């Protein structure tokens, strides 16, 4: 049986989707979190000088999407056919577009520009991407993005909306909102989600 260690800052951000996958699978792993001031000493030890890093049986792998793709395959969350895999990938692609505008907002230091980006995200960017997700859910008709059970796609969508997308925006998309709640209350996930500390990213 493989052993896993996930290395990241003590925030959700780019590591939380992997943590959700571990929780859903019931897979034991070392959740190795560190404070920002520890990063300079740790950085040279990481494969590409960045995190998250997933260590599997002592082998280290970087890039958050590569990590979650690997875990999704390992845990059977990547669809059951080649077409379902593509359908999962398109949802993950939408969530990556959402993360891009979130990261742009996070990295903006000028307060008035930051406020403008937040307004743009809430009025334009988030609704655009959630409309795409709503369409996928409507076309699939099962309450899940792909197939008839929870997959990588549902976890990725939940994670992308988790902190930065206001409820008032999500409320405009009833199928997306219902799917998010389905993930939040899943028997395999609800205890982990409820136990998480408050976060801004």
What structural domains and CATH numbers belong to the chain? Answer: 4-75 (3.40.30.10), 82-184 (1.20.1050.10)
Which of 93, 114, 88 shows the shortest CA–CA distance to 102?
114
pLDDT for the residue 134: 98
Residue with tokens 């000493």: 41
Q: How, if at all, do strands 4-9 and 59-62 pair?
A: unpaired
Q: How does pLDDT run across 112-168, given as a tens digit for each residue?
A: 999 999 999 999 999 999 999 999 999 999 999 999 999 999 999 999 999 889 999
Q: What is the CA radius of gyration of the chain?
A: 17
Closest by alpha carbon to 129, among 170, 157, 98? 98
Pairing outcome for strands 30-34 and 4-9 = parallel
H/E element holding 7?
strand 4-9
Q: What does the alpha-carbon distance between residue 154 and residue 195 come to, in Å, rounded to a whole number?
A: 20
* 60-72 mean pLDDT: 98
Residue 45 corresponds to which tokens in the numbers above?
A: 């030890």
Alpha helices (runs of H) in the chain, residue ranges in sequence order: 16-25, 39-42, 64-74, 82-107, 111-120, 126-140, 152-161, 167-170, 174-184, 190-195
* Continuous segment of H or E residues that includes residue 27: none
For the four alpha carbons of 151, 79, 133 and 141, in that order, the dihedral sign comes to negative
Residue 198 pLDDT grade (very low, low, confident, very high; cuts 50, 70, 90): confident
pLDDT at 75: 98
pLDDT tens column, 13-62 = 999 999 999 999 999 999 999 999 999 999 999 999 999 999 999 999 99
Q: Could you give phi then psi for residue 128, rounded to 5 degrees?
A: -60, -50
* Tokens linked to 88: 């999962």
Q: Tokens 């494969």 sit at which residue? A: 47
């Amino acid at each position: 049986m493989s052993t896993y260690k996930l290395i990241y800052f003590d925030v959700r951000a780019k590591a939380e989707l992997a943590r959700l996958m571990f929780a859903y699978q019931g897979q034991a792993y070392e959740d190795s979190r560190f404070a920002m001031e520890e990063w300079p000493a740790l950085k040279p030890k990481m494969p590409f000088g960045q995190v998250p890093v997933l260590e599997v049986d002592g082998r280290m792998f970087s890039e958050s999407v590569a990590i979650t793709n690997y875990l999704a395959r390992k845990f059977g969350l990547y669809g059951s056919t080649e077409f379902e895999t593509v359908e999962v990938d398109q949802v993950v692609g939408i969530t990556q577009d959402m993360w891009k505008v979130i990261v742009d907002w996070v990295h903006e230091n000028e307060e008035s520009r930051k406020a403008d980006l937040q307004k743009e995200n809430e009025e334009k960017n988030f609704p655009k991407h959630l409309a795409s997700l709503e369409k996928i859910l409507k076309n699939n008709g099962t309450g899940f993005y792909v197939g008839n059970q929870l997959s990588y796609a549902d976890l990725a969508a939940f994670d992308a909306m988790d902190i930065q997308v206001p409820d008032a925006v999500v409320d405009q998309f009833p199928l997306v909102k219902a799917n998010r709640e389905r993930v939040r209350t899943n028997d395999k996930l609800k205890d982990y989600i409820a136990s998480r500390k408050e976060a801004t990213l």
